[in-house]
């Protein structure tokens, strides 16, 4: 079942005055940015493939095609078995195609793929593939129902839900209000560096320390704009995107979303125990009902939305929330980025890779079933990002104004 994804390109930003607006002279842009061979070899290294493991790629035709042969060869070099590539059929579709035919065909394909792909040990989801498509969804079903050493690499680069780009022509980034969109060469250079040069051991150690401190603590998130919310993780799964895509990690019983390994890594995510979520979140600049809204404020009591106001555009905020089912009008998740190579200071004017950069906070709304929460309903927002948060664990400061202090 596909949930409604709202606000994919909105971003909440409270420290714009500290960053200069970048300019991108054409002569200064990196050229021939992507080293497909190096990226392929690094991904295979993170998979830690075992001899005889069966490895598949799921790809959208025309996207990252130059990467595919390097990846397949690297799989063979690791003495694993290259099972080839499944091409997805992604929109937009030609005029006149019957949507009922597509839905029925996708359902049949998904069911057939579940049987066909049962022996696949690892798969790479290329840019353009997403969970609404049959092969991808079938692999997710197998991850959830069969477990074992199975794992997938989420190698999005661009936004999996909008491979053709948004109004600026870009996808896997959040462009900040008042800033120009970065050229794709710049994005390519940032993402490639993060894949090839992230110190995964240091990333894992930093995340481990935070998770250990958070597990039994009260988490409080505040911002200068007025966000002040607290919650507890209790016994909920804490998703740790640390780049470890090994079969050994999966055999330890990794949660579903830890089996979908993001490249580049960097975020920890948790759906807090709903009854512990108290306070408010203020989004200085965000989009609701596809309109700009200023200082949208969402109030939570025991995890449920009990109030919503805005300085400008309140009618759009309320319209989106009113359209959501009551079962989804709850706090969704807390996410915190740790990757120093995706730090917002490296990307002035835009936020890289879904908020995985060091110090970026994600505060979501709605369905959190995939995270192990109990909020249901066909609505969620997961791309609202805050760059100037202070995060405390039982009163101890870990993040101060968007900067880690420990």
Task: Spell out a b/e string for 341-378, using b for 16 or more CB atoms within 10 Å of the CB, else e.
Answer: bbbbeebebbbbbbbbbbbbbbbbbbbbbbbbbebebe
Rounded Cα distance between 288 and 263, Å, is 29
pLDDT higher than 90, residue 340: yes
Q: Averaged over 318-325, what is the pLDDT?
A: 97
Is 397 in contact with 24 (CB distance < 8 Å)? no
Between helix 184-197 and helix 36-47 the angle, nearest 10°, is 40
Rounded Cα distance between 397 and 383, Å, is 24
* Model confidence band, residue 56 (pLDDT cutoffs 50, 70, 90): very high
Structure tokens at 343: 């730090």
Residue 403: strand pairing partners: 400
- Tell me the H-state helices in 198-241: 200-214
Give the pLDDT of residue 63. Answer: 82
Distance, C-alpha 70 to centroid of its chain: 25
The closest alpha carbon to 267, from 201, 347, 175, 342, belongs to: 342
pLDDT higher than 50, residue 170: no
pLDDT higher than 70, residue 9: no
Across all residues in the chain, what is the average pLDDT?
89
Structure tokens at 332: 């969704």
pLDDT higher than 50, residue 319: yes
* Model confidence band, residue 60 (pLDDT cutoffs 50, 70, 90): confident
CATH superfamily for domain 36-164 = Thermophilic metalloprotease (M29) (3.40.1830.10)
pLDDT higher than 80, residue 110: yes
Share of the chain above pLDDT 70, in %: 88
Give the pLDDT of residue 147. Answer: 86
- Domains of the chain, by residue range, sit at 36-164, 200-404
Which region among 44-53, 180-189, 232-241, 336-345 has the lowest average model confidence (pLDDT)?
180-189
Structure tokens at 48: 């830690």
Give the pLDDT of residue 167. Answer: 36
Is 122 in contact with 152 (CB distance < 8 Å)? yes
To the nearest 10°, report the CA torsion of 308, 314, 319, 324.
Answer: -30
Q: Averaged over 163-190, what is the pLDDT?
A: 70
pLDDT higher than 60, residue 169: no
* Model confidence band, residue 1 (pLDDT cutoffs 50, 70, 90): very low
pTM exceeds 0.85, yes or no: yes
């Amino acid at each position: 079942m596909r949930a409604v994804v709202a606000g994919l390109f909105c971003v909440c930003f409270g420290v714009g005055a500290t960053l200069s607006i970048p300019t991108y002279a054409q002569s200064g842009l990196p050229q021939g940015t992507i080293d497909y061979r190096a990226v392929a070899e690094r991904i295979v290294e993170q998979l830690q493939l075992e001899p005889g493991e069966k490895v598949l790629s799921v790809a959208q035709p025309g996207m990252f095609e130059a990467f595919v042969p390097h990846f397949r060869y690297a799989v063979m070099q690791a003495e694993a078995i290259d099972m080839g590539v499944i091409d997805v059929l992604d929109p937009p579709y030609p005029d006149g195609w019957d949507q009922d035919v597509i839905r029925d065909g996708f359902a049949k394909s998904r069911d057939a793929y579940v049987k066909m792909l049962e022996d696949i040990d690892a798969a790479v989801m290329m840019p353009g593939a997403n969970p609404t498509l049959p092969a991808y969804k079938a692999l997710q079903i197998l991850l959830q129902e069969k477990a074992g050493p199975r794992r997938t690499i989420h190698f999005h680069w661009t936004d999996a839900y909008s491979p053709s780009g948004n109004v600026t022509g870009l996808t896997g980034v959040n462009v900040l209000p008042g800033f120009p969109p970065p050229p794709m060469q710049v994005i390519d250079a940032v993402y490639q560096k993060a894949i090839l040069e992230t110190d995964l051991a240091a990333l894992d150690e930093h995340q481990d320390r935070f998770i250990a401190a958070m597990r039994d603590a009260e988490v409080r998130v505040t911002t200068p704009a007025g966000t002040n919310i607290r919650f507890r993780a209790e016994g909920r799964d804490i998703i740790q995107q640390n780049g470890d895509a090994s079969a050994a990690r999966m055999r330890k019983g990794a949660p579903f979303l830890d089996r979908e390994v993001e490249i580049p890594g960097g975020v920890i995510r948790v759906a807090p125990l709903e009854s512990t979520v108290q306070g408010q979140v203020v989004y200085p600049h965000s989009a609701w009902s596809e309109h700009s809204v200023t200082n949208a404020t969402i109030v939570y009591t025991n995890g449920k939305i009990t109030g919503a106001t805005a300085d400008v555009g309140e009618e759009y905020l309320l319209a989106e929330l009113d359209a959501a089912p009551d079962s989804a009008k709850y706090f969704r998740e807390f996410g915190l980025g740790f990757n120093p190579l995706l730090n917002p200071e490296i990307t002035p004017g835009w936020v890289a890779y879904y908020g995985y950069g060091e110090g970026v906070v994600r505060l979501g709304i709605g369905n959190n079933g995939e995270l192990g929460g109990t909020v249901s309903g066909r609505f969620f927002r997961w791309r609202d990002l805050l760059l100037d948060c202070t995060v405390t664990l039982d009163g101890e400061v870990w993040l101060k104004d968007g900067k880690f202090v420990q």
